[in-house]
Amino acid sequence: MKTVILGLGNPILHDDGAGLEAVELLRQAKLKQDVEVKSAAVGGFRILDHLAGYRRAVIVDAMMTGGRPGDVRRMQVEELCGELHASCVHDLSLSGALDLGRGLGMDLPEKIVIYGIEVADPYLLREGCSPEVRAGVRRAVDMILADLQDESAYLVEE
């Protein structure tokens, strides 16, 4: 079962790079051969190119919900309320893009798990995440690695 882990963010916008830092750590881990790690600075419909052809996907991104910076939340696509940066005002939301892609017959993952890392200011022009967010990145990576070991975390409901 092919799996993609996709880290999203912008490396020069401080904490917005949380997803990118997470996938850099995951690239250093010994993952199964059927797991591919990617990074991207896209949202909306453009994210579908990075998900097409995989059976399951893990998306790691910054989120801003008013929580404590560094908090990590594991979610299903259905739980999203626009808090991830996987969309912007000029693009479709992630769930909207997935619906459109599936409607167009794209080969998209049946199971998508999202790890949101809470940030305080994703728009500050500075490379690298704050210490609190960097700690959250490490927690998210640990959670992802544990889930990858537990196949039931990514079971596709038939």
Q: What is the DSSP letter of 82?
A: S
| pLDDT at site 78 | 77
For residue 148, give Cα distances in angstroms to 82, 102, 129, 153: 26, 25, 25, 7
In this prediction, residue 79 carries a pLDDT of 78
Answer whether residue 117 is part of any domain.
yes
Give residue 152's pLDDT. 59
In a domain, 75, yes or no: yes
Residue 158 inside a domain? The answer is no
Domain extent, residue 115, equals 3-153
Task: Please give the model's pTM, rounded to 2 decimal places.
Answer: 0.86
Question: How many domains does the chain contain in total?
Answer: 1
Reported confidence tier of residue 99, pLDDT bands at 50, 70, 90: confident
Closest by alpha carbon to 154, among 56, 77, 59?
56
Instruction: Evaluate whether residue 85 is within a structural domain.
Output: yes
Rg (CA), the chain: 14
Average pLDDT, the chain: 86
- Cα dihedral angle (90, 48, 150, 114), rounded to 10 degrees? 0
**Percentage of the chain exceeding pLDDT 90:** 57
Cα separation of 152 and 12, whole Å?
36
In a domain, 86, yes or no: yes
Domain holding 81: CATH number?
3.40.50.1450
Position with higher pLDDT, 144 vs 90: 144
pLDDT higher at 51 or 30? 51
How far apart CA 10 and CA 14 sit, in angstroms, is 8
Beta bridge partners of 76: 113
| pLDDT tens track for 119-141 | 987 777 778 889 999 999 999 99
Q: Tell which wins on pLDDT, 90 or 54.
A: 54
pLDDT tens, position by position, 5-44? 999 999 888 899 999 999 999 999 988 889 999 999 988 8
Angle, CA of 73, 47 and 126, to the nearest 5°: 65
Tell me if 32 is assigned to some domain: yes
The whole-angstrom separation of Cα 34 and Cα 134 is: 27
